[in-house]
A = this chain, B = another copy of it.
Amino acid sequence: MLTPFRVDTNSLAITERLNQLGFDVRLKAVVGDQVEELAHVLESALTWADLIVLTGGLGPTEDDITRDAVARVLNLPVDIDEQIVDRIRERFARRGLTMPEINRRQGMVPRGATVLANPNGTAPGLWLERGRTAMVVLPGPPREMKPMLDAVIRDRLESRASGGLFRRVLRITGRTESDVDAAAQPVYSRWTNGSVPIFTTILAMLGQIELHLTAHAKTRAEADAALDAAQGELETVLGSAIYSVDGRPLEAVVGEMLRERRMTIAVAESCSGGLLAARLTDVPGSSDYVDRGVVCYSNLSKTELAGVPASLIEQHGAVSEPVARAMATGIRDRANANVGIGITGIAGPGGGSPDKPVGTVAIAVAVGNELRVRTFQFLGGREMVKFQSAQAAMNMLRLLLLKKDAPFWPATR
């Protein structure tokens, strides 16, 4: 985390959760793996902070120094907790492995600390108190850290909370940032002086805009009432461009729509290379509605897997609306599914022409007798073109199922 390569994202998730409890995050520090250096930072924070959250440095190796630094600062002896070691040994045994001796280090506990269970990894966490300051020590990998943080909040921190910041995220696709802001700004600018003030931030990401609403309230109920009203106002101006208000990604929203309608889906992808299928199947339970997908890179495979007539490819070129249409209906009919999607385009960096530059993508969505097809011009590198292709395809399907017209799709932010 002190190299030029690794962006710190753990601290964002922690800040969000702590803000909700009313904790104001006043200092974030990234410290090297020398005991003295971490001890220095901890000593300083102990003089003023109510809560110190540490993540990482709980692995089995020599440079995992968090336990040592905490013990040194609080002047506590360190014991090996054999129960922890046994659990780690069992974890290894379940995979038919012998625990290396070095992993005993992960059983080190400063005397008096409460051990926090880690359901997703070997390193347990720690809870310590010194005067007014509570110290929470958690492992670094987000999938281990997050559930443990949630448990600490529920079991130990919630009772100390005194109102806080409550957030809601509205996700939008198919519109540009300036377009969204022009519509939303006159609405959200009125909210900052209400009895429950709401502050709004607009964030533009690849193929997606987010509006982050933050309410300052005493209770969750008070915040929810204000956020519900705010959301309603934004829905009036942004309409079906908003696809999610509860953190769900587009693939989950579209998946839920298919499930409600008892529809199945089959997709034929060229330039997106399987990314649409991969995203659709990221959703738990998606095997109920995802029937199949084919990745047909070569012209021959478009014919063999999705039944696209070779003559159509010859006449219009592989990247064309007629071919996208034939891919969508072909894969749908072969799979005997309700919905078919076809994506064909040029992801780059090679393969572009003046006529069809890199980023040209034709997408077709077929549902029953309805068929929509559209050619997009996406900007950005190969992975960005792939992502935007999958995003646009899912949004076209969402709007078709909602019987809405597709709004403008941004070629860039």
Interface residues of A (CB under 8 A from B): 1-9, 12-13, 15-16, 19, 24-34, 37, 40-41, 44, 48, 59-63, 91, 95, 97, 100, 102-103, 120-122, 141, 143, 167, 176-179, 181-182, 185, 201-204, 212, 267, 269, 272-278, 280-282, 284-287, 290-298, 301, 304-305, 334-335, 347-351, 377, 380-384, 386, 410-413
Contacts and interface: CB of A to CB of B under 8 A. Distances in A.
A239 B285 CA distance: 40
- Top 5 nearest A-B pairs by Cβ distance? A273-B281, A274-B277, A293-B295, A4-B16, A274-B274
A31 B41 contact: no
Contacts of A91: 412
24 contacts: A1-B28, A2-B26, A4-B15, A5-B12, A5-B201, A5-B212, A7-B8, A7-B9, A8-B8, A26-B32, A27-B41, A29-B29, A95-B377, A95-B412, A102-B178, A273-B278, A273-B290, A273-B293, A274-B274, A282-B382, A284-B350, A284-B382, A287-B351, A293-B295
A34 B278 CA distance: 41
A160 to B, nearest CB: 20
Contacts of A281: 273-275, 295, 297, 347, 386
A40 B30 contact: no
Contact of A37 (B27, B31, B291): B27
A84 to B, nearest CB: 16
Contacts of A380: 120, 143
A282 to B, nearest CB: 6
Contacts of A3: 15, 19, 167, 212
A297 B274 CA distance: 13
Copies in the complex: 2
Contacts of A347: 281
A191 to B, nearest CB: 14
A168 B168 CA distance: 42
B305 A294 contact: yes
A95 B294 contact: no
A310 to B, nearest CB: 16
Given A7-B8, A100-B182, A301-B335, A273 B284 contact: no
Nearest to A409: B95
Nearest to A411: B95
Given A32-B26, A95-B411, A177-B59, A292 B292 contact: no
A286 B290 CA distance: 26
Contacts of A120: 380
Given A19-B4, A27-B32, A41-B44, A291 B301 contact: yes
Contact of A305 (B292, B348, B377): B292
A202 B33 CA distance: 12
